[in-house]
């Protein structure tokens, strides 16, 4: 992978590629779901078990890294200025301020090219606003909304144990709002039992890869 920087340490691992539009026939899988929907676990299972080769897009964000998060693996951690420079250069497929947090997140076009170059389908784990933008640009995108039985939301969110009360409340509000967009996705999967949700998504992908 090519690496480049805009002159600060945080951007060092980010591919410094020109903002070319990726081929329109790149396979895009978009997965969204409220906090507590178990997205992260589902994604790691899919990366290992999907019937098609999935490559997870690494998003850029202005949020500071959490303990154990690695620049260039979990996210490309950028300063607000670096993010804005990338945005103005047209480097993002989509970007949004997520959870009214003041932090920006975005999918770099270079991530789509990275997946296509590796003969994979790119998997975007992004919020609803970003997902709607992607669906507009890629109408054939496989969009999946992962939801959770309501009583599970709060429990899972709190079980992480890494966040404060105000943060949790904001996420719960976002979850409520995001649920109203579930119908805009091509597929809705309820993550009641992890195993079932993973299998259901695998079946969806298999069917799209090999239509009968």
| Residues engaged in binding ligand 5GP (CB under 6 A) | 59, 63, 94, 96, 98, 105-107, 125-127, 129-130
Among the residues of the chain, which ranges form H helices?
A: 39-49, 80-88, 109-117, 128-137, 150-159, 165-179, 194-209
We find the least distance from the C-beta atom of residue 58 to ligand 5GP, in angstroms, to be 9
Measured from the CB atom, the residue of 82 and 94 that comes closer to ligand 5GP is: 94
Q: Taking a C-beta distance cutoff of 8 angstroms, is the pair 90, 110 a contact?
A: no
Measured from the CB atom, the residue of 27 and 77 that comes closer to ligand 5GP is: 77
Measured from the CB atom, the residue of 88 and 212 that comes closer to ligand 5GP is: 88
Q: Taking the CB of residue 111, how many other CB atoms lie within 10 A of it?
A: 26
Q: Among residues 126, 124, 146, 128, which one has the least CA distance to residue 196?
A: 146
Measured from the CB atom, the residue of 16 and 163 that comes closer to ligand 5GP is: 163
**Which residue is at the shortest CB distance from ligand 5GP?**
130
We find the least distance from the C-beta atom of residue 57 to ligand 5GP, in angstroms, to be 7
Measured from the CB atom, the residue of 27 and 99 that comes closer to ligand 5GP is: 99
We find the least distance from the C-beta atom of residue 212 to ligand 5GP, in angstroms, to be 32
- Residue 137's SS3 state is helix
We find the least distance from the C-beta atom of residue 39 to ligand 5GP, in angstroms, to be 7
| Distance of alpha carbon 69 from alpha carbon 105, whole angstroms | 15
Buried b (16+ CB within 10 A) or exposed e, 8-23: eebbbbbbebeeeebe
We find the least distance from the C-beta atom of residue 145 to ligand 5GP, in angstroms, to be 12
What tokens appear for 105 in the block?
Answer: 């997140």
Sole residue written with tokens 């105000």: 166
We find the least distance from the C-beta atom of residue 127 to ligand 5GP, in angstroms, to be 4
Measured from the CB atom, the residue of 98 and 198 that comes closer to ligand 5GP is: 98
* Pairing assessment for the beta strands 76-77 and 54-56 based on DSSP bridges: unpaired
What number of H helices and E strands is found in the chain?
7, 9
Q: Taking a C-beta distance cutoff of 8 angstroms, is the pair 109, 95 a contact?
A: no
């Amino acid at each position: 992978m090519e690496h480049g920087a805009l002159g600060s340490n945080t951007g060092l691992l980010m591919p410094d590629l020109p903002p070319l539009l990726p081929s329109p026939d790149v396979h895009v899988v978009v997965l969204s779901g409220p906090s507590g929907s178990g997205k992260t676990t589902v994604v790691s299972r899919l990366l290992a078990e999907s019937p098609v080769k999935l490559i997870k897009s690494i998003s850029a964000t202005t949020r500071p890294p959490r303990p154990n998060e690695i620049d260039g693996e979990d996210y490309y951690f950028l300063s607000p200025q670096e993010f804005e420079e990338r945005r103005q250069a047209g480097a993002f497929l989509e970007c949004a301020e997520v959870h009214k947090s003041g932090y920006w997140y975005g999918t770099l076009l270079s991530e789509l090219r990275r997946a296509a170059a590796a003969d994979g389908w790119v998997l975007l784990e992004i919020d609803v606003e970003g997902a709607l933008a992607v669906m507009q640009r890629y109408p054939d995108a496989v969009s999946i909304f992962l939801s959770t039985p309501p009583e599970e939301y709060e429990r899972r969110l709190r079980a992480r144990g890494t966040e404060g009360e105000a943060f949790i409340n904001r996420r719960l509000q976002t979850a409520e709002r995001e649920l109203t967009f579930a119908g805009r996705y091509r597929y809705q999967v309820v993550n009641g039992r992890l195993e079932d949700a993973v299998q259901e998504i695998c079946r969806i992908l298999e069917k799209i890869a090999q239509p009968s």
